[in-house]
Amino acid sequence: KDKDGMIENDGFADQTYDVWKMTGTSAYCGSLWLAALTCYIEMLKQAGSPSKHYEGKLLNAYDAYITKLWNGRFFKFDELPDNSKIVMADQLCGFWALTAMDEPVQVSEEKMKLALETIFKYNVQMYNDGKCGAVNGFLTSERVDGSSIQSEEVWAGITYALSAMMIEKNMDEMAFKTSEGLFESIWNRFPLQYQTPEAITSDGMYRALGYMRPLSIWAIQHALDRQHKK
Does the pLDDT value for residue 191 go beyond 90? no
Sign of the four-CA dihedral 91, 94, 100, 103: negative
Confidence of residue 230 (pLDDT cuts 50, 70, 90): confident
Are the beta carbons of 29 and 48 closer than 8 angstroms? no
CB atoms within 10 A of CB 19: 11
Are the beta carbons of 64 and 5 closer than 8 angstroms? yes
Sign of the four-CA dihedral 65, 71, 73, 76: negative
Q: What is the pLDDT of residue 20?
A: 97
Convert the pLDDT of each residue in 33-79 to its tens digit. 999 999 999 999 999 999 999 999 999 999 999 999 999 999 999 99
Q: Judging by beta carbons within 10 Å of its beta carbon (0-12, 13-18, 19+), is residue 56 exposed, middle or buried? A: exposed
Give dist(CA 212, CA 151) in Å, integer.
19
Confidence of residue 91 (pLDDT cuts 50, 70, 90): very high
Q: What is the mean pLDDT of residues 184-202?
A: 93
Measured in degrees and rounded to the nearest 5, phi and psi for residue 155 equal -100, 120
What pairing do the DSSP bridges indicate for beta strands 143-144 and 137-139? Answer: antiparallel
Edge-first strand order for the sheet with 86-88 is 86-88, 137-139, 143-144
Q: What is the mean pLDDT of residues 176-193?
A: 94
pTM higher than 0.75: yes
* Apex 216 CA angle, 104 and 119, nearest 5: 70
Give dist(CA 90, CA 137) in Å, integer.
9
Convert the pLDDT of each residue in 107-135 to its tens digit. 999 999 999 999 999 999 999 999 999 99
